Amino acid sequence: MKLIIVESPTKASTLSKFLGSDYEVDSTRGHIKDLPKSKLSIDIEHNFKPDYQEIEKKKSVIKDLKSKAKNASEVYIATDPDREGEAIASHVQQILSDKDIKLKVETHRISFHEITQKAVEDAIFNPSKVNRNLVDAQIARRVLDRLVGYKLSPLLWKKVRRGLSAGRVQSVAVRLIVDREMEIKAFKPEEYWEIFAKFTKFTAQLIKQEIHNKTTADKILSDLEKATYKVSDVKKRQITKHPYPPFTTSTLTQAGSRLFGWSAKKTMSVAQKLYEEGLITYHRTDSLNLSADAVNLARGFIEKEYGKEYLPEKPHFYKTHSKSAQEAHEAIRVTDVSRESSTVNNEQGEQKLYDLIRRRFLASQMNPAVYDETTINVLASSRVVSYKLRASGQIMKFDGWRKLFPVNPTSGVGFDSPDVNLLPEVVKDESLDKEKVWADQKFTLAPPRYNEASLIKTLEKLGIGRPSTYAPIITTIQVRSYVEKVDKVFIPTTIGFAVTEFLVKNFPTELDFGFTAEMEEDLDRIAEGKIKWETEMKKFWTPFEKKLKSVEKTAERVKIETEKLNIKCPDCKDGELVIRVGRFGKFISCSRFPDCKHTEKFLEKVGIKCPDCKEGDIIVKKSRKGKFYGCSRYPECKFASWKLPKKEEK
Helix (H) / strand (E) containing 34:
strand 33-34
What CATH number is given for 2-130 in this structure? Answer: 3.40.50.140
Distance CA 267, CA 277 (A): 16
580: pLDDT strictly greater than 60: yes
Domain edges within the chain = 2-130, 137-186+449-554, 191-242+369-443, 249-363, 563-641
What CATH number is given for 137-186+449-554 in this structure? Answer: 1.10.460.10
Beta strands in 190-260 (DSSP E): 191-199, 203-207, 228-241
Of 298, 321, 323, the C-alpha closest to 310 is 298
Catalytic residue among 282, 387, 450, 482: 282
Instruction: Give me the pLDDT at residue 411, please.
Output: 40
Instruction: Give me the pLDDT at residue 259, please.
Output: 93
Distance CA 146, CA 50 (A): 10
Helix (H) / strand (E) containing 565:
strand 563-568
- The answer to whether 78 and 65 have CB atoms below 8 angstroms apart is no
* Integer angstrom CA distances of residue 164 from 130, 159, 510: 37, 10, 18
Instruction: Give me the pLDDT at residue 448, please.
Output: 97
Instruction: Give me the pLDDT at residue 214, please.
Output: 97
Confidence of residue 53 (pLDDT cuts 50, 70, 90): very high
Instruction: Give me the pLDDT at residue 221, please.
Output: 97
Tell me what percent of the chain is helix, strand and coil, each rounded to the nearest 5: 40, 25, 40
544-562: pLDDT as tens digits:
999 999 999 999 998 877 7
What average pLDDT does the segment 497-517 reach?
A: 95
Instruction: Give me the pLDDT at residue 102, please.
Output: 81
Instruction: Give me the pLDDT at residue 414, please.
Output: 46
What average pLDDT does the segment 177-190 reach?
A: 97
Instruction: Give me the pLDDT at residue 394, please.
Output: 86
Q: Active site includes 282?
A: yes
Instruction: Give me the pLDDT at residue 626, please.
Output: 67
In DSSP notation, 142-209 reads: HHHHHHHHHHHHHHHHHHT-TT----TTHHHHHHHHHHHHHHHHH----EEEEEEEEESS-EEEEES-
> What top-level class would CATH report for the domain 249-363?
mainly alpha
More confident call, 574 vs 508: 508
Instruction: Give me the pLDDT at residue 299, please.
Output: 98
Burial label, 105 (beta-carbon count in 10 A; 0-12, 13-18, 19+): middle
pTM: 0.85
Cross-strand bridge partners of residue 182: none
Of 87, 16, 28, the C-alpha closest to 60 is 28
298-337: pLDDT as tens digits:
999 999 999 999 999 999 999 876 655 544 579 999 999 9
- The answer to whether 267 and 256 have CB atoms below 8 angstroms apart is yes
344: pLDDT strictly greater than 70: yes
181: pLDDT strictly greater than 70: yes
395-409: pLDDT as tens digits:
889 999 999 998 754
Q: Percentage of the chain with pLDDT > 90?
A: 76
Half-sphere exposure of 299 (CA within 13 A, CB side): 15
208: pLDDT strictly greater than 80: yes
Q: In CATH, which of 2.30.140.10, 2.70.20.10, 3.30.70.890, 1.10.1520.10 is domain 191-242+369-443?
A: 2.70.20.10
